[in-house]
Amino acid sequence: EVRLVESAGGSVQAGGSLTLSCRTFGFPFDASAMGWFRLPPGTSCELVSRSQVELNSVKGRFTVSRDSAQKTMYLQMNDLRPEESAMYYCAAYLQLAYAQHTPPSPTCRAYGMSYWGKGAQVTVSS
């Protein structure tokens, strides 16, 4: 069974930091392209970072890393802003993926990812 399990999110004040992890099960981690996405309330799915592409507004503040031995991806977020409060999702793309997951929102479908985590709530207060 393919699973992507995010760590619990959290609540921080503006300017604070938070690190999310995404542990994966059931597919070849090193053969996959993984990414982080977020879904603010009432808006569309946003690509935070995938491969070499990242949202302009997070450059210099967010860092993605991978640990192949642990089959885990991380998202370190620094200097968080209130407008970045959202559900954060990790996702994986795999060629010839089977039993693909339904994206958390129809607006996430356009990114073409194969598998999705359940999400982690990040709340940033001003």
Cβ–Cβ under 8 Å, residues 10 and 122: yes
pLDDT for res 59: 94
Residues of the chain with pLDDT below 70 are none
Q: What is the pLDDT of residue 76?
A: 97
- Is the dihedral angle over the CA atoms 98, 104, 110, 115 positive or is it negative? negative
Within 8 A by CB and 6+ apart from 45, the residues are 37, 38, 39, 103, 104, 105, 107, 108, 110, 111
Position 54 scores a pLDDT of 85
In sequence order, which residues have a C-beta less than 8 Å from that of residue 64 and are 6 or more positions away? 36, 49, 54, 73, 74, 75, 76
Query: Residue 53 has what pLDDT?
Result: 83
Say what the pLDDT of residue 98 is: 85
User: CA torsion 73→30→114→102, rounded to 10°?
Assistant: -40
DSSP single-letter state for residue 15: T
Contact between 122 and 13 under an 8 Å Cβ cutoff? The reply is no
